[in-house]
Amino acid sequence: AQSVAQPEDQVNVAEGNPLTVKCTYSVSGNPYLFWYVQYPNRGLQFLLKYITGDNLVKGSYGFEAEFNKSQTSFHLKKPSALVSDSALYFCAVRLLKAAGNKLTFGGGTRVLVKP
């Protein structure tokens, strides 16, 4: 079984300040890890992924995430948040060798960036 936890329902940050959205996962094997963003009444937009290699992954729109195997975490970060980053963020995991393309998502974290 695999699961994803996003412990914060909402994160508030002032524009220009660093943004961190937390994610921890549980899988019995090596994971693929993803971050997606969702704007109101829209589908999911891909931000970044970790497959293998460097633990620090850089993605779209200035976002990055750090894979920490010992802490089973994959926190999303942005050094300087913008008001336009206000959205719903989802962390997802997939087993490296699982059949099919099933993604298991966390419950989501709403990010509010205030001017």
Partner 1 sequence: ETGVTQSPTHLIKTRGQQVTLRCSSQSGHNTVSWYQQALGQGPQFIFQYYREEENGRGNFPPRFSGLQFPNYSSELNVNALELDDSALYLCASSPTGKIEGYTFGSGTRLTVV
Identify which of residues 16 and 58 has a Cβ nearer to partner 1 in the complex.
58
The least CB distance from residue 81 to partner 1, in Å, is: 22
Spatial distance between the Cα atoms of 59 and 46, rounded to a whole number of angstroms: 9
Indicate the residue type of 112.
L
Q: Give which of 27, 75, 70 is closest to 50, Cα–Cα.
A: 75
Q: What are phi and psi of 85, to 5 degrees?
A: -80, -5
User: 44 or 82: whose CB is closer to partner 1?
Assistant: 44
Nearer to partner 1, 97 or 115 (CB): 97
In whole angstroms, how close is the CB of 70 to partner 1 at the nearest point? 23
Residue 67 to residue 50: CA distance in whole angstroms: 7
Q: Which residues form the interface with partner 1 (CB under 8 A)?
A: 4, 32, 34, 36, 41-46, 49, 51, 90, 92, 94, 99-108
